[in-house]
Structure 1
Amino acid sequence: MKLSELGEFGFIERIRQAVAKAPGVAVGIGDDCAVLELPPGERLLTSTDLLIEDVHFRREWTDMGLLGRKSVSVNVSDIAAMGGTPRYLYLGLGIPDGLAVEELDAFVAGFLSACADYGATLVGGDTCRSPGPLLISVTVEGTVPAAELVCRSGARPGDAVYVSGTLGGSALALRRLLAGETPDAEAAGRHHDPRARVELGRALAAAGIPSSMIDVSDGLLADLGHLLEASGVGAEIDESALPLSEALQASLIDAPNSIELALSGGEDYELLFTVPPERESLLAALAVPVTRIGRIVLAAGLAVKQRSGTLRPASPAGYNHF
């Protein structure tokens, strides 16, 4: 079916009917504004992000349902990075001519399935025609108890640097897609359907463990650079300690330089955080999949200890739109 046959308001009504009722939503899709309730004693977290066709994704590589899921996860990851709970999302779509209603239905179904995974609800948004690529704008709102909020600015010299999960899988998948190759299932899954670390972020924040935290979206070095700048400190990272995805480990046999994908590749959506020495025992007691990869130092700047043992200065390289 063509979207012109359904019309903008028919498409919005189609979305409204697909959204389940949720607690905290006094008024959802269909009015001028959403009317929402927040838990007492919690602060509101808000983040927004754009995904633009041929910049962030290509439709010939991407299942529309998975694109819907990714659109949620990359935004929810920002809430996880501050120790919060995602609650409400807003979706804006700039829709190009020729995109069938069935494709949009698949996108919305994926979007709503990811919302359900995170316990969040779609409560509003907007649609319009795009004369060019598919444009996806998502705003996410979450909450966090005031005393448990984690920012980028709390790292101090002597803190350990940790990262969750593994690194480099998404960037390796992208490299292979750009080369016209098919990435293996693990790497493809990390690229097309990442999982925001909400449960881990909440557990860390509730236990009062991190002194600072950020999610790895632009690349480990780039995002660590943001954290260091906000905190006014430096860091040393041990390259041999990096937790690499299985696919990236395999690629190092023939292409040792692939390690740069773990350092600068981006779109891992893992949590990168710092822990004061006296709280590391609390982290160990949580028994969560995290890896210590370095330490915070007083002198500004970022250095990487290579596998040879040499310490090299590193720029906070990663994805930059401009």
Structure 2
Amino acid sequence: MYGSSLSTLGEFGLIDLIRTRFPQPSPPELGIGDDAALLVPAPGRQLAVSTDLLAEGVHFDRSCGPDRLLGRKSLAVNLSDLAAMGAVPRWFFLSLALPAGFPLAGIEAILDGLAEQATDHGCLLAGGDTCGSKSGLVISVTIMGEQVPELLVTRSGARPGDDIWVSGTLGDAALGLTILMQNHTGLADGSAAEFVVSRHLDPTPRCRLGQRLAESGLISAMIDISDGLLADLGHVCRQSGCGAEVWLKELPRSPAFEELAGVFPDYPWHLAAAGGEDYELCFTAAPEQRAAIAGVGKNTGIPLTVVGKVTRSFGRVQAIMPDGSLFQPPASGYTHF
């Protein structure tokens, strides 16, 4: 139907291929097909907008996993940004830069993964762009969500004395990437390795949890953990004018992480504290809210753990080892430059 190659398909054929795979906004809204999309937020709601770009050779290696999972992840990282503000996903825009000769089967698999993730979260494709690439594949997604203005959570509300919480478990994605990149002997196979690799290739955005936390009014600040807990917590501290102390012994680690940790000469605290790409939520709240917050976790089925406290030391994030000594990570988290 579309030809056997990207060059045969052409730009407009590619756009048509994309459009047929995604439901479109309904009137009075307008999606793909015009110079701009026309979108209508619900009455009394404020828009939250986020953009993420994934570049081949920087953010992903296509040989590490199926293209379908790459499609899922390219939307998941944007959904996670909305989750961190408590916003409800509504629309997204997709831009693709494709190298000459990129296989149509790969494009279709990426679109399949995107469509799965969009359907799971009720998010509609409203537009985007396509072009050629003289290097690798580039996937750029801009997402738009909405929420009642007073319920939106930012990074700037943490206060000294607040608890620091995280959702789920930490370090799995970084350990999964380590396995993929270094292929540690004895780690390539087995259910534990498969679990942590899947956490890297197919992260789960905590949208429902983020919305419930925002609607509860219990928390003071929130961020998603994309660059590593210590680095992302540093963003909260700078925006809030405070500091943080993290207790490594309290960091939640999965059974798979614990099983695989023994292959390292030293316990891999750096993966849990600074590894990145967990796409869990980190948030702060007053200590008297602990019971109520635990109830939110129970209702959403996602474990929530207190891992530290907010301090008065502006911009300073300290991590404390189980023996009480100061942890010195090889890096505080991922940085592009």
Same fold (TM over 0.5): yes
2:308 to 278, 294, 301: 294
2:323 to 305, 308, 312: 308
1:219 aligns with 2:228: yes
- Measured in 2, the distance between the counterparts of 1:316 and 1:147 equals 36
Q: What is the Cα deviation at residue 103 of structure 1?
A: 1.2
Whether contact under 8 Å (1:241, 1:293) holds in the other structure is: yes
1:109 aligns with 2:119: no
Partner amino acid for 2:335?
N
TM-score, length basis structure 2: 0.92
Q: In the TM superposition, what are the counterparts of 1:67-86 in structure 2 within 5 Å?
A: 67-86=70-89
* Cα displacement string for residues 99-153 of structure 1 (whole angstroms, at most 9, x for unaligned residues): 1112101111111111111110111000001011101111000011111010000
Whether contact under 8 Å (2:24, 2:32) holds in the other structure is: no
Partner amino acid for 1:296?
V
Structure 1 counterpart SS, 2:307: strand
Q: Equivalent residue for 1:121?
A: 124
Partner amino acid for 1:150?
V
Q: What is the Cα deviation at residue 297 of structure 1?
A: 1.0
Structure 2 unaligned spans of 5+: none
Q: What is the Cα deviation at residue 240 of structure 1?
A: 0.5
Partner amino acid for 2:306?
R
Whether contact under 8 Å (1:153, 1:227) holds in the other structure is: yes
TM-score, length basis structure 1: 0.96
1:248 to 251, 257, 271: 257
86-95 or 250-259: which moved more?
250-259
Given the superposition, is the C-alpha separation of residues 88 and 31 from structure 1 closer, same or farther in structure 2, using an over 3 Å criterion?
A: same
- Measured in 1, the distance between the counterparts of 2:200 and 2:18 equals 26
Higher strand share: 1
Given the superposition, is the C-alpha separation of residues 296 and 12 from structure 1 closer, same or farther in structure 2, using an over 3 Å criterion?
A: same
Partner amino acid for 1:93?
L
Q: What is the Cα deviation at residue 313 of structure 1?
A: 6.8
Whether contact under 8 Å (2:274, 2:329) holds in the other structure is: no
* Cα displacement string for residues 149-177 of structure 1 (whole angstroms, at most 9, x for unaligned residues): 10000000110000000011110111111
Structure 1 unaligned spans of 5+: none
Q: What is the Cα deviation at residue 14 of structure 1?
A: 1.2
1:266 to 276, 287, 293: 276
- Measured in 1, the distance between the counterparts of 2:5 and 2:109 equals 14
Given the superposition, is the C-alpha separation of residues 311 and 131 from structure 1 closer, same or farther in structure 2, using an over 3 Å criterion?
A: closer
Partner amino acid for 1:212?
A
Q: What is the Cα deviation at residue 314 of structure 1?
A: 6.8
Q: Equivalent residue for 1:65?
A: 68
Given the superposition, is the C-alpha separation of residues 92 and 21 from structure 1 closer, same or farther in structure 2, using an over 3 Å criterion?
A: closer
- Measured in 1, the distance between the counterparts of 2:329 and 2:220 equals 23
The alignment covers a number of residue pairs equal to 322
Partner amino acid for 1:39?
A
1:208 aligns with 2:204: no
Q: In the TM superposition, what are the counterparts of 1:161-176 in structure 2 within 5 Å?
A: 161-176=164-179
Whether contact under 8 Å (1:302, 1:314) holds in the other structure is: no
1:16 to 19, 22, 29: 19
CA RMSD of aligned residues (A): 1.6
